[in-house]
Amino acid sequence: MRAIGIAHFGETPALREVPVPEPGGGEVRVAIEAASINPLDLAIASGALAALGGYRFPLTLGMDGALPTAGMTALGAIDVMGVPEGGTLVVLGATGGVGTFTIQAAAARGIRVIATASARLAEEVRRLGATEIVVRGAEPLDEALRRLAPEGVDAILDAVGDRSLTSSVAGAVRDGGALLSIGSGLEERLLADERIRAADYRLDRKPERLAELTALVTAGTIRPVIGARLPPGGGTARPHRRYQGHRNARQDRPPGALTSGRCR
């Protein structure tokens, strides 16, 4: 069978022939028709997570089947933040895989969503359900949030992982509100702040979360946003370069908390 993988860390992922895997006890073999490229795949391929060990080469990449990782992370994060219907949620990195699911799922719960996006993608983000867009680079985000929600927001979800960004907007969270990062984007002082509920979030992979996600997608309440259709052979070079660009842009971030991009 064909699979996208690497022969060594640092190589651009490429399509190659690999043996068909034989399922062991309690496992099943799943046929994949289409898959997404998750930032975690690119982080693994770069070698940024080599210290975790357990890799065997040639290494087949594949954290995702286009939906579960980003979708379940969005649903889990929304639950942890606990924003009530009618409450206000800010999504940083709203055009990515997690961000686009978060906007849709939160809007479906009657939550007011303020999203950050480039000018080019602002309309797409609005179509997903964001009520207000703060265009990146047009206005300092903390000032925009003070203008849009002078009373403070109920929660901010950081899907970028930029510590200076989260530090600049933490003051916009109301007392007792949540500041959650999925990209290790919070400084220690914020994690220790008792005024707000600040935390790093890790996907819990609960089966019931996958069932909830499946039901939402089947009902048409939320949909995966396809940023680009890549050919099976050699199509990973572009996201790989993009990943490297984001990585270079955010030197202060820990390895692994890196992004490619989805909504474009």
Q: Which residues bind ligand NAP (CB under 6 A)?
A: 38-40, 69-70, 73, 93-99, 118, 159-162, 182-183, 201-203, 246, 249-250, 257-262
Query: Closest separation between CB of residue 196 and ligand NAP, Å?
Result: 19
Q: Which is nearer to ligand NAP, 131 or 184 (CB)?
A: 184
Residue 181 C-beta: closest distance to ligand NAP, Å: 8
Tokens representing 12 are: 């651009």
| Nearest to 35, CA basis, from 229, 217, 241, 219 | 229
* Reduced DSSP (H G I as helix, E B as strand, rest coil) percent helix, strand, coil of the chain, to 5: 35, 15, 45
Beta carbon nearer to ligand NAP, 92 or 216: 92
- Tokens in use for 112? 């007011």
With respect to ligand NAP, which residue has the nearer C-beta, 174 or 255? 255
CA distance 138 to 165: 15
CB of 23 to ligand NAP, least distance (A): 26
Report the residue number, 87 or 93, with the smaller CB distance to ligand NAP.
Answer: 93
Nearer of residues 174 and 235 to ligand NAP, judged by Cβ:
235
Residue 109 Cα distances to 25, 103, 124, 129, angstroms: 40, 10, 19, 11
The span from the CA of 215 to the CA of 151, in Å, is 35
C-alpha to C-alpha distance for 101 and 176, rounded to whole angstroms? 25
